[in-house]
Amino acid sequence: MKLTLKYIAVILIGGITLSSCSKHPDSPGYEYMPDMYRSQAIEAYVDYGMVTDEEKDTTAERLKNTQSARIPAEGSIPYYKKKNKAALMMPFIYGKADLDSASANWKLPSPFLADIEGNVKEGKRLFEIMCMHCHGKTGQGDGGVVVVGDYNPPSPYDGAYKERSLGGIFHVITFGKGAMGAHASQLNKEERWKVAMYVRTLQHGDFNLNGLTGNVKADTTGAPVVAAAVLGNAG
């Protein structure tokens, strides 16, 4: 009896083993609990509600009710507890074609002047990460990408771009200009202002306060304000 059971067990195991084999090179054969090692991937920013009604299987029905990450609505900003920080991050009021208007009217928020040295230092760090490879360490347009790639160099900051205002620099960082692409997705508004502050030191040799006074349209939701001392009351 024991011998018979042994033979039966061997035959069953052998049969299962053989039946799980396939001549097709891509076939995995029979799999025990395949969902344990072949999990269904959920892709970010995929609208699973768009699965067609023609696909009637259970997987399609489940995917149609699966929620994935959603692309934020246009103009969305991160949540900030501090009101001034939230105001600073409000959408930019100028469009890509408004460089001249931004140069004339878009002014540095006054809180950045509370720590010029610290903000310029952070702007330098960000510049060396995001900009130096084209503009060069001192803003002469002699970065590694330009020199090695033999591309047309950007104008020096202390040359053709010396008189470009902080608002103009901010606009160019946001939307790009010429061969330079937009950097709004890489640098938030606070970081763009700090880079602009550092670029100003490359233009003038230091952070020149000249031209930063008067009636301005400050970096808030777009309401014009009058500068009481140096800049608009924004941030």
| Partners of residue 106 on adjacent β-strands | 217
Same domain, 53 and 133: no
Say if 232 falls within a structural domain.
Answer: no
Q: Report d(CA 203, CA 155) in Å as an integer.
A: 11
Q: Report d(CA 205, CA 207) in Å as an integer.
A: 7
Same domain, 102 and 195: yes
3-class DSSP state of 216: strand
Say if 56 falls within a structural domain.
Answer: yes
84-88, 171-175, 219-223: which is most confident: 171-175
The residue to which tokens 């939701």 are assigned: 221
End position of a domain, from candidates 24, 51, 71: 71
Same domain, 198 and 112: yes
Say if 45 falls within a structural domain.
Answer: yes
Quickly state the pLDDT bin for 189 (edges 50, 70, 90): very high
Quickly state the pLDDT bin for 4 (edges 50, 70, 90): confident
3-class DSSP state of 180: strand
**DSSP category for residue 32:** S
Show the domain range for 45: 39-71
Same domain, 53 and 120: no
- Residue 142: give its domain's CATH number: 1.10.760.10
Give me the amino acid identity at 20: S
Say if 118 falls within a structural domain.
Answer: yes
Say if 31 falls within a structural domain.
Answer: no
What's the sign of the alpha-carbon dihedral 88, 92, 94, 100?
Answer: positive
Please tell me the total count of domains within the chain.
2
End position of a domain, from candidates 30, 47, 71: 71
Quickly state the pLDDT bin for 166 (edges 50, 70, 90): very high
Q: Report d(CA 220, CA 226) in Å as an integer.
A: 13
Same domain, 91 and 180: yes
190 or 212: which leads in pLDDT: 190
Same domain, 65 and 95: no
Residue 121 in tokens: 């230092």
Q: Report pLDDT digits (tens) over 13-66.
A: 877 776 666 666 676 666 666 666 655 566 666 666 655 555 556 666 666 666
Say if 27 falls within a structural domain.
Answer: no
Q: Determine the straight-line distance between the first and last CA of the chain, rounded to whole angstroms.
A: 88
Give me the amino acid identity at 62: R
Same domain, 97 and 213: yes
Q: Report pLDDT digits (tens) over 76-102.
A: 888 888 888 888 888 888 999 999 999
3-class DSSP state of 25: coil
Greatest Cα-to-Cα distance within the chain, rounded to the nearest angstrom: 105
End position of a domain, from candidates 71, 93, 118: 71
Say if 178 falls within a structural domain.
Answer: yes
Say if 29 falls within a structural domain.
Answer: no
Report pTM.
0.64
Q: Report d(CA 86, CA 157) in Å as an integer.
A: 31
Same domain, 98 and 193: yes
Same domain, 115 and 169: yes
Nearest to residue 199, comparing CAs of 215, 180, 216, 214?
A: 180
Q: Report d(CA 206, CA 226) in Å as an integer.
A: 26
